[in-house]
Amino acid sequence: MEYLIEYGMFLAKAATIVVAIMLVIGAIAAAGNRRRGGRRGRIKVTELNRHVDELRDALRSRVLSKAQFKQLNKAEKAERKKEAKAKKQQAKAAEKDPEQEGEAEKRLFVLRFKGDVGAEKVASLREEITAVLSIARESDEVLLCLESPGGMVHAYGLASSQLSRIRDREIPLTICVDKVAASGGYMMACLGDRIVAAPFAIIGSIGVLLQLPNFHRVLQRKEVDYEMLTAGEFKRTLTLFGENTDKAREKAQEDVDNIHGLFKSWVKRHRPVVDTDRIATGETWVGLQARDLQLVDEIGTSDERIVAACAENKVYEVEYVIRKPAHERLGEALYAALDRLLLKWTGAPTNTNVQ
């Protein structure tokens, strides 16, 4: 028993020291962030052509004989040298004759958006689009790999507006949906000049949902009063704790219908080929069905589009990486370490999946 008490005191002291170190590091990181003007992120650019070449070469080196591999590499090197020379001559010609600038090599910029209820990724998306638009030409193209089940209207409205910036610059925008683009996700997808969906990707859900529990009767049984003062007849309609009236329900339904109408208009404006009365029921369809309904243009995956583009153009993946303060990273690492330690002590499985 005495041993356990001493061990507990040791852990308490150790935890105190760790917390103190975290506070010091956090203060230093915050001060450094202020000196940098509050910047918390950076643009990361990956040339996907090189990535695809590395995958191909890794397989070739194991499948082909050394002589075949060497000969193939030699031939491709000569071809690349020839292409580089042609591009150099083209660049010089463009300097002398600006009208030839339009013949410059097309570039594909790949962005990725994995949405949650609050569309938190829009914080990075806006920076990525700003970076791309700063150098993009009309001959270039943007491909957005989109995955989102939807969420809050105002959040996805902002995300959609960011994509409008690309269309306003008349730069081709392709949206690829490998898994799901529903509700707010499709609000974004319909901004694409072309929408490509995997055969069984979930598409649609053009509807609006408002739901919340009401605890009024529970409070009544417990003899708890709930007071709410408002200025404006419809400052609040449905509430969690107050008594909801028919008038409040009617107003809430009116608001939902208005937002649904705006959603339908948004889709019709950016995707005029669809029959909004047919598809704006809140239903979802898989990619094959969505193509028949003209919700998407073609069936395929983002990998197909990217690999095909790498064979003809330069392809760059652009990502805005938000730097977390040192104390946040340390806190996450400490939490993960403690979590693993507790799992080990309790003997709980570490690979349990909840379906």
- What are the distances in angstroms from CA 166 to CA 127, 174, 185? 13, 11, 17
CA torsion 273-276-280-285 (nearest 10°) is: -30
CA-derived radius of gyration, the chain: 28
- For the question of residue 183 being annotated catalytic, the response is yes
- For the question of residue 235 being annotated catalytic, the response is yes
Beta bridge partners of 202: 180, 286
CA angle 315, 161, 137 (to 5 degrees): 35
Distance of CA 325 to the CA centre of its chain: 22
Show the beta-strand stretches assigned E in 50-206: 107-114, 141-148, 173-182, 194-197, 202-204
Q: Of 124, 183, 205, 302, which residue is the catalytic one?
A: 183
Residue 274 and residue 296: Cα distance in Å, rounded? 9
Q: Of 66, 96, 222, 235, which residue is the catalytic one?
A: 235
User: Phi and psi dihedrals of 2, rounded to 5?
Assistant: -65, -35
Q: What residues act catalytically?
A: 183, 235
